[in-house]
């Protein structure tokens, strides 16, 4: 009795030291289908071209001639007649089977769910931060504005205090003759002097407490006085019954005279001595 197709495939497989599982992994054909082929039982196989493809792949995997295997399959179909349904079945063949695929999918799903959860939490935290950021910026801005206003106010108060109480020693008084020489009597901080001022040589004073100047009324248009470089308007007329113009600037009056640009009535000496 001749060897059947299934026996030839089994012998070839065993000769190569392969198991049904190894051949199934190599050909991607169900181990159940391979066992049925070795037993020449094609009843549960899909039939038609699928069976021929299984036989050809099986033969190739175990080193058997593929054409010989297909020829033996055709003879088997003829010999067994109606016992083998060579027409393809309506359901899909179980060609690719891997029991590990379903088990390996579950960890992937779990990992993807964890990643999705982290992403969701991150997005929610980002949205919350963006919503809270403007209010924090506005609060900080208001605080900075308040602090700056307070600082500016304090600085202004300090500057005002400094300007309102200047040091008298910082004032420089210059008295000059414009066209002709002028005789000037001065008392600066109690020190008296009598000088002849020439147009090219003015007298300069830096009083700390007071400054008193006296010159002829006839020279009222021939003299000029400045405080810290600013011209100060001098009186054009003296007190009645006096031929001289005399005035005194005391400590604390220099700043007001510098700001107004003129002497006050209280600076004029109205009594004769």
**pLDDT for res 102:** 53
pLDDT tens track for 155-183: 555 455 445 445 556 889 898 999 899 89
Q: What is the pLDDT of residue 161?
A: 47
Residue 216 DSSP SS3 = strand
The pLDDT value given to residue 136: 55
Q: 5-97 is classed in which CATH architecture?
A: Orthogonal Bundle (1.10)
pLDDT of residue 264: 82
pLDDT score of 156: 54
Q: What is the pLDDT of residue 91?
A: 47
Task: Identify whether the C-beta of residue 171 lies closer than 8 Å to the C-beta of residue 254.
Answer: yes
Residues 6+ apart with CB under 8 A from 250: 209, 210
| Structure token pair of residue 26 | 């190599």
User: Residue 100: its pLDDT value, please?
Assistant: 54
Enumerate residue ranges in the chain where pLDDT < 50.
82, 91, 158, 161-162, 164-165
Cβ of 119: how many Cβ atoms within 10 Å?
10
Query: What is residue 192's predicted lDDT score, i.e. its pLDDT?
Result: 94
Tokens representing residue 148 in the block: 């700056």
| Residue 184: strand pairing partners | 195
- Domain extent listing, the chain: 5-97, 100-165, 168-267
| Residue with tokens 């020449």, as numbered in its chain | 40
What is the reported pLDDT for 158?
Answer: 44
User: CB of 37 within 8 A of CB of 87?
Assistant: no
């Amino acid at each position: 009795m001749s060897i059947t197709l299934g026996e030839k495939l089994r012998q070839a497989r065993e000769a190569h030291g392969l198991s049904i599982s190894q051949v199934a992994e190599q050909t991607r054909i169900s181990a159940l289908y391979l066992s049925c082929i070795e037993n020449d039982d094609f009843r549960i196989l899909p039939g038609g071209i699928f069976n021929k493809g299984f036989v050809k792949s099986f033969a190739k995997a175990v080193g058997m001639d593929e054409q010989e295997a297909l020829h033996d399959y055709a003879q088997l179909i003829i010999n067994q007649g109606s016992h083998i349904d060579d027409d393809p079945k309506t359901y899909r063949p179980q060609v690719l089977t891997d029991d590990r695929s379903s088990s390996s999918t579950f960890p992937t799903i779990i990992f993807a769910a964890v990643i999705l959860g982290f992403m969701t939490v991150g997005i929610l935290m980002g949205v919350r931060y963006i919503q809270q950021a403007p209010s924090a910026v506005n609060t900080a801005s208001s605080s900075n504005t308040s602090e700056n206003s307070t600082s500016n106010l304090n600085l202004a108060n300090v500057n005002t205090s400094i300007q309102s109480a200047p040091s008298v020693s910082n004032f420089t008084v210059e008295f000059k003759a414009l066209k002709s020489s002028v005789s000037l009597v001065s008392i600066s901080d109690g020190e008296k002097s009598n000088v002849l001022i020439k147009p090219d040589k003015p007298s300069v004073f830096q009083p700390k407490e007071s400054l008193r100047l006296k010159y002829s009324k006839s020279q009222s248009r021939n003299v000029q006085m400045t405080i810290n470089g600013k011209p100060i308007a001098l009186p054009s007329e003296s007190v009645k019954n006096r031929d001289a113009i005399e005035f005194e600037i005391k400590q604390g009056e220099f700043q007001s005279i510098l700001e107004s640009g003129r002497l006050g009535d209280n600076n004029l000496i109205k009594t004769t001595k």
